[in-house]
Structure 1
Amino acid sequence: MSAATTGSIDMSTAILIRVEQSGKGDFKKIQDAIDSVPSNNSELVFIWVKPGTYSREKIVVPADKPFITLSGTQPSDTIITWNDGGNIMESPTLTVLASDFVGRYLTIQNTFGSAGKAVALRVSGDRAAFYGCRILSYQDTLLDDTGSHYYSNCYIEGATDFICGNAASLFERCHLHSISTNNGSITAQHRNLASENTGLVFLGCKITGAGTTFLGRPWGAYSRVLYAFTYMSGVIAPAGWDDWADPSKHSTVFYAEYKCYGPGADRSKRVGWSQSLSNDDAAPLLTKDMIGGSSWLRPAPTSFKRGSTIIKPGSKL
């Protein structure tokens, strides 16, 4: 975020838009609420999605509509769902193309099943953050496509490459759940060049599952993934990492673990081309600085406005 952009945005107050299927809100559909935001928006917009299952629309946040927050109250009762597969760019239930997006307390799912690629959430905008969301599918659940992203306390479920893409992302205190019955993969990070400052860091996370899974496999030759302070259940295959049948990538990938624990964290049978990091090597990767977060992660707004009326905390929304 540039200094000029930061200076023009009041981070404490957001325009409130309510979505409620009963018709008591401003809109019945989430996409209609997003469409109501002006192009090249320069104010925080908080779209409050009331409880319900929103299943009749694919949702896109266009690139020219930054600074939108899409928020439920808790993911168990605010569910955005679709059923499409085949193309990772076209199948997502929710696609975020805009910068400075925030998603909060939502379930985002694709119920296409195990027949092929089916993305629940595609994040292709820069500076996107997700808090307390549930992201569910089978293959390619989260297309963490491009940009700098932050995921906090999210639950992410899938079987095959279910966190994939070429963003620079930090996952903090997230729960990763594999539903693969045999030899799935949690990540397929797509870094293609050594010069790209992209990769996935999982910090203080938890991995559970139903069968066996690898920590990752290289979609790109310079794929980069780190798990740190992460609980690994026995679901993790002893080898830990898969080379996608391409041994040439052994010398170019960066696959590492740091102070992980649990039955799946035993490194005695790990592939030799993965590493256990030293304190010094791990330190720069274990803060929000690796995604530049100190300059763009923002707290939730403290007041809202509808038209010219300011709604203070504690007021009835």
Structure 2
Amino acid sequence: MYKNTSHLLSLLAIGLSLCQAVLAASRTSPPSGAIVVRAGTSTSGEYKTVASAVAALPNDSSSRSIFIYPGTYNEQVYITRAGPLTIYGYTSDTMAYSANQVTIQASVPASTAGSNDASGTLRIHKNDFKMYNVNIRNNYGVGSQAIAISQYGSRVGLYACGFYGYQDTLYANQGTQVYLRSYIQGATDFIFGRQGYAFFGGNTIGVSGPGWVTASGRESNDGGSYVFDKNTIVLASGAASGTSGKVYLGRPWGAYAKVIFKNTVITAPMNKALWSVWNTGDERTSNILFAEYNTSGSGSSGASRPSFATVLSASQAASYTIATAVGSDYANWVDSAYLV
């Protein structure tokens, strides 16, 4: 037996610190071959905007990357190229959205843009896309749908990113997609879409006003779903007054809405029902699955769920995984370092 307990504890503490230091890797220079974006640059071969860097990419099947130096980039970015693309943001800690130093922002409402998708600050209309450590914002605020990220691709991974909006922040509309160790903020239906196959893991979800975290628009009994595992729901900094008791996990935009929350910690002050109909007189609850497993935290205390909500057993919950959400081939395209 090791008798010097204090010495052992010291060694363990040092080991833990070393492990944390290794895990907290920085990314402060571009990977080999990456196109460089730098605000205000006058260096030949670099680009001042993300959109101009995207436009410079060849529309072929080659794998390409873009590295963005710190700054706030006021623009909308629309990505359609055929080949795989990875966008990297400058950061001191690749695993933490809180260390992000790159922001792409716009303030475009759907009412002006003509559609939800067209209002998006970042519009992903391609397969095989990854993005690390970039904040995406739509700053329009109250009054209209205003999308931060509009996602139409398959095999799309968003890692340690930040997505900020108010109504309809994250449009997970089509394709297979994962959101890992990121921050997602909004109030009204701020994670939504029609045909998305989406997995959300290890994220912080910030509620900035009364409303609904999700609005699944699933319209038929297909394989699509939104599966959440090990996320935390908090009251966002600067949240609107009167938010307490007026927040729900979701409401059904589509008649076959399918949303599963597993191992969720809720500290935001939710409505005790946790789940909502679409609207009074237009409930849309006959064919939905709104399910939870192992929900905890002060925000869920005293929950009184409606009859259309389901509390899963452990064995039932085990059937909702990243593989069932986005496909059994997920290991081929998801960055496993960000799984929790």
Query: Structure 2 length as normaliser, TM-score?
Result: 0.79
Which one has a larger percent helix, Structure 1 or Structure 2? 2
* Mapped contact 1:37–1:65 kept (Cα < 8 A): no
* Mapped contact 1:14–1:46 kept (Cα < 8 A): no
Aligned to 1:88: 116
Which one has a larger percent strand, Structure 1 or Structure 2? 1
Indicate yes or no: 2:115 matched with 1:79.
no
Aligned to 1:185: 212
Structure 1 position 103, deviation (Å) = 1.1
* Mapped contact 1:203–1:227 kept (Cα < 8 A): yes
Indicate yes or no: 2:228 matched with 1:199.
no
Counterparts of 1:126-145 in structure 2, within 5 Å, are 126-145=154-173
Sequence identity percentage: 29
User: Which of 282-291 and 207-216 deviates more?
Assistant: 282-291
Counterpart of 2:198 in 1: which secondary structure? strand
Counterparts of 1:149-228 in structure 2, within 5 Å, are 149-166=177-194, 167-180=196-209, 182=210, 184-194=211-221, 196-209=222-235, 210=239, 211=243, 212-228=246-262
Structure 1 position 263, deviation (Å) = 1.8
Counterpart of 1:250 in 2: which secondary structure? coil
Matches of 2:301 and 2:224, distance apart in 1 = 27
Structure 1 position 77, deviation (Å) = 1.8
Aligned to 1:60: 78
Aligned to 2:46: 26
Structure 1 position 299, deviation (Å) = 6.8
Equivalent residue in structure 2 for 1:38, among 58, 62, 65:
58
Aligned to 2:68: 49
Q: Which amino acid aligns with 2:174?
A: T
Q: Which amino acid aligns with 2:63?
A: L
Matches of 1:188 and 1:31, distance apart in 2 = 30
Matches of 1:284 and 1:66, distance apart in 2 = 33
Indicate yes or no: 2:307 matched with 1:287.
no
Deviations 1:3-58 (A, max 9, x none): xxxxxxxxxx974111112233621111121112211x323211001111100x21
Q: Which amino acid aligns with 2:201?
A: E
Higher relative contact order (CA 8 A, sep 6+): 1
Q: Which amino acid aligns with 1:186?
A: V
Query: Structure 1 length as normaliser, TM-score?
Result: 0.84
Matches of 1:278 and 1:112, distance apart in 2 = 41
Counterpart of 1:297 in 2: which secondary structure? coil
* Mapped contact 1:186–1:214 kept (Cα < 8 A): yes
Q: 1:112 to 1:68 in 2, by over 3 A?
A: same
Extract structure 1 runs of 4+ deviating beyond 6 A. none
Aligned to 1:108: 136
Matches of 1:248 and 1:120, distance apart in 2 = 28
Counterpart of 1:138 in 2: which secondary structure? coil
Q: Which amino acid aligns with 2:159?
A: Y
Alignment RMSD:
1.9
* Mapped contact 1:189–1:220 kept (Cα < 8 A): yes
Matches of 1:202 and 1:270, distance apart in 2 = 18
Q: Which has the larger radius of gyration?
A: 2
* Mapped contact 2:226–2:325 kept (Cα < 8 A): no
Q: 1:259 to 1:299 in 2, by over 3 A?
A: closer
